[in-house]
Each structure stands twice: as C-alpha cells, then as structure tokens.
C-alpha cells in the first residue's frame, strides 16, 4: 500500500437552515484527494539517456563548414570549437559517467566530414573509431541512438551548394548506405536529420549559421532537399538492415515550439498560432509522411505571441521584460509546454522519444527544478495517452553551443575547457535518482514545490 496522508481537516459547517434549498453540488462535502508518496513509475523499458553531437563535443573537426565559419570570426567573441570537450579521445571516461548516471541509452551523432572527407572517399580509420565508440556504449549496457546529420556539412558538400543543391540529398544517401553497412549492427535507433526547421531558419532565414545567406528561395530548396534526403535515407536503412525478425527504427529529431497568444480570445491570434504550429512543427512531417517509425521531439521553446499586423518583428514577445524565469540564454522555462507538445504529436499514432530537452544554467541553480518539472509533465502526458518511449537530456557535457560559443552551459557534467576536467553537477545526481528509479521519487518534488498535486 502506498503511504498516504488524509488531508481532510475539520471545518465549521453551516447549519441545516442555511443549507436548505441549495443544490447538492454546493452542500456535499468534497473528498480530499490522497497525497501519495510512492514513486511515479514510467513504463518498463523506458529509455533514460543523454544526448551529444559530434562537432559540439569531439574537438578537432576541421573539415566542415562550421569550422570554417568559426575561422571567419562568425561565432560570439570569435570563439572556435578547437578541442571542444575532447570527447573524441575521452569517450570512455564520458560513457563511464553516463553509466554511473543510471542511463540505459545514449544519443550521439556521427561527423560526416570525418567519414567521407572527400566525395566518394571513405576513411576506414574513422569508421573504426566510431565502431569503438558504439562498442563502448554497448559494453556499458546502453542502447545507441545515432544521428547521421547534426548541422555540419563536409567542406566539399558545402562548396557544392549545401542543402540548397539538388545533389546533396544523393550524397547524403550514399553516406547513409555506407554507414549502415559498416556500423548498422551497433545501432538501435536511427535519427537521419536533426532539427530541419531550426537549421533552415538559422541558415537561410536569419543568416546566423553557415552559409549565412538570407534567401527565401534557397530556404525552400533546402527544405525540399532535406525532406527528400530523409525519405531516401529511411528507405535505404530499412532496405539494408531490416530482417525477417527485426524491423529497425528510423526517424528525425524535430525541434517543437509551443505557442501562446496574449489575446486568448482573439480569433486572428488563434488563427496565426495554428498557422505557425502547422508550418514550423508539422510541415516537415507532412512532406515525409509514411517515412517515420517514431516521432523525435526536441523541446526548448515556448513563444508568447503579440500579434501586430504592422510590426512583424514583435510577433514573438521578449518575455524577459516580464521577469519570467529564463535560462542563461534567455529562453523561457515552461514545463507545461512539453505536455502540450507530446499530446499534440499523438495525432501521428507513432511512438515518441524526447530526443533533446535541456537548460543552459552555468551555476546549476535552476536545472534540478527544471528536470523534475519536465519529467513530471512527461509522466502526465503518458497518463493522458501519449506513447512516450524515452527521454534524452541535453546534454551529458557542457559543449560548444554553435554561434553562442561556449557560453551556453547545458551539461549535467561541468567541463573545464582549459584542463578538460569533468565535474558532475548537482543536477547530475537528481537525474541519476530519476533514472535509477525509472520514475520520479516523491522526495524530488521539493524541487518543483511539494504542494503540487499529482
């Protein structure tokens, strides 16, 4: 029996004269809900993991478009990734920490520019390296979720037009086929493409990422090629790796944004939000339907919309002006959004993995509360019918955060980039408790506010 508290307290009761003639829903005394102290368990086999990407942690990736971008001084304070976390050499140490964390899975990416440094020329030494990386995870009992493409392009692909070229999808499928044959026996779950809409927005929308071209035509071309690349890679992976007794899992990792209008009862604002949700969150899935075995959700952003037809730049209101709780990067912390996202994506009738979710917090003051609050909302979503199979926290380590350099500290493990020393943060041990219990123990609710009802 779970331990419960009876929260019913005696109170003054009205006289029968005062209650006479009132409806029963007013006169009946509601029964207090029990306060349950047992762990809120997740489904058996639920995957608890962390996530990384090659360029952000490995170090020494000098043959891709991002390194060239860094050399051009296009990153905050002209920082360069350099050795990053030196994960390329220290992966055994890092996976020991992941195993001690209680993880049973890990998401990582392969660096295309290492594996295929020149068109059609594959580096078998690099393939052997990644084989050892995947074997190290298997040795520690961790399932492997492998991302084929996480934002970086080999220089030879970038110089031929990148994703705005019709040839790139073909190059990507050739690379996918090679990786499937060489490493497929060590991969449990495949991610073909990471965050296509974020990539398109940052490259051809804002110009903040390479190639830095604000061009709507190239945006649309690249969207089409990314969709084509995913569909073809999906088919190729299944063709090579499916067996009579086992069908592999292939999908994408999609950054999902939740939206909220200030004018809740404005029809035009509601229409605008439905349009934004369709275009940003769902359009890629519509273009690639029947080519997903699961839905991968990356959740970071909740936007509050102030719709002003004459001021497009103010569609997305800066919430820091309201003193809302935000990360070190100014992103609003909004745990209910992950519940909304998960329920929204049940429309596809597919299993869901949370492939990324994390917080930039250098002093780790907010991350324990963030973790508990997010996991609590995921639990509620599962109870509401969402088929969530796993949660991969971003990130295991502090890393190189693209145009922000080393400023955004997302790691459960702090990294001193001068000495490469690893130091688990307080949130590491909070997540360890969750992973080991396969659920949210009652005593962790202190981080989210003990009075919160379940």
pTM beyond 0.85: yes
Confidence bin at 34 (pLDDT 50/70/90): low
Hunting for tokens 């998401």 — which residue is that? Answer: 107
The backbone torsions φ and ψ at residue 448, rounded to the nearest 5 degrees and listed phi first, read -100, -5
Interval 77-127: pLDDT, tens: 999 999 999 999 999 999 999 999 999 999 999 999 999 999 999 999 999
Lowest-pLDDT range, 175-184, 306-315, 377-386, 441-450?
A: 306-315
Q: How many C-beta atoms surround the C-beta of residue 267 within 10 A?
A: 8
pLDDT at 35 over 70: no
pLDDT at 1 (0 to 100): 45
Domains in the chain and their CATH numbers? 44-447 (3.20.20.80)
**DSSP H helical ranges for 36-119:** 54-57, 65-71, 87-100, 112-115
Interval 237-276: pLDDT, tens: 999 999 999 999 999 999 999 999 888 888 888 898 999 9
The backbone torsions φ and ψ at residue 366, rounded to the nearest 5 degrees and listed phi first, read -100, -20
Is the distance from CB of 306 to CB of 321 less than 8 angstroms? no
The mean per-residue pLDDT over the stretch 273-286 comes to 96
pLDDT at 2 (0 to 100): 47
| 138 Cβ contact partners less than 8 Å away, ≥ 6 residues apart | 144, 186
The mean per-residue pLDDT over the stretch 375-394 comes to 98
Query: What share of the chain in percent tops pLDDT 90?
Result: 82
Closest CA to 138 of 186, 207, 68: 186
The mean pLDDT of the chain is 91
pLDDT at 190 (0 to 100): 99
């Amino acid at each position: 029996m779970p331990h419960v508290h009876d929260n019913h307290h005696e109170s003054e009761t009205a006289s029968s004269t005062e209650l006479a003639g009132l409806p029963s829903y007013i006169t009946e005394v509601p029964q207090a809900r029990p306060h349950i102290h047992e762990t809120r368990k997740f489904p058996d086999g639920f995957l608890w993991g962390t996530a990384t990407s090659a360029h952000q942690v490995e170090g020494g990736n000098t043959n891709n478009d991002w390194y060239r971008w860094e050399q051009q001084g296009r990153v905050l304070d002209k920082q360069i990734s350099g050795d990053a976390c030196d994960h390329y050499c220290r992966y055994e140490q890092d996976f020991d920490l992941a195993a001690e964390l209680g993880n049973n899975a890990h998401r990582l990416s392969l660096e295309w520019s290492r594996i295929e440094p020149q068109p059609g020329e594959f580096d078998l030494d690099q393939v052997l390296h990644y084989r050892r990386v995947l074997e190290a995870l298997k040795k520690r009992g961790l399932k492997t979720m492998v991302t084929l493409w996480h934002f970086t392009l080999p220089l030879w692909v970038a110089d031929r037009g990148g994703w705005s070229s019709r040839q790139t999808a073909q190059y990507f499928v050739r690379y996918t086929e090679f990786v499937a044959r060489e490493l497929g026996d060590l991969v449990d779950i495949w991610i073909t493409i990471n965050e296509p809409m974020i990539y398109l927005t940052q490259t051809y929308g804002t110009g903040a990422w390479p190639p830095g071209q604000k061009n709507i035509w190239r945006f649309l071309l690249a969207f089409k090629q990314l969709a084509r690349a995913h569909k073809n890679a999906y088919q190729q992976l299944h063709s090579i790796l499916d067996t009579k007794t086992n069908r592999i899992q292939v999908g994408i990792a999609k950054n999902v944004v939740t939206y909220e209008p200030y004018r809740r009862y404005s029809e035009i604002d509601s229409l605008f939000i439905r349009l934004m949700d369709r275009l940003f969150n769902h359009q890629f899935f519509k273009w690639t339907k029947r080519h997903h075995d699961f839905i991968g959700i990356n959740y970071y952003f909740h936007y509050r919309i102030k719709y002003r037809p004459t001021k497009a730049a103010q569609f997305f209101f800066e919430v820091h002006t309201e003193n809302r709780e935000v990360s070190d990067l100014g992103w609003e912390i909004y745990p209910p959004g992950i519940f909304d996202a998960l329920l929204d994506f049940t429309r596809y009738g597919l299993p869901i993995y949370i492939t990324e979710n994390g917080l930039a917090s250098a002093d780790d003051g907010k991350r324990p509360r963030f973790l508990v609050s997010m996991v609590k909302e995921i639990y509620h979503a599962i109870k509401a019918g969402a088929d969530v199979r796993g949660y991969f926290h971003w990130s295991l380590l502090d890393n190189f955060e693209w145009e922000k350099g080393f400023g955004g500290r997302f790691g459960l493990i702090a990294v001193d980039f001068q000495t490469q020393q690893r130091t688990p943060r307080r949130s590491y041990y909070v997540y360890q408790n969750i992973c080991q219990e396969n659920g949210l123990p009652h005593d962790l609710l202190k981080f989210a506010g003990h009075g919160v009802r379940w």
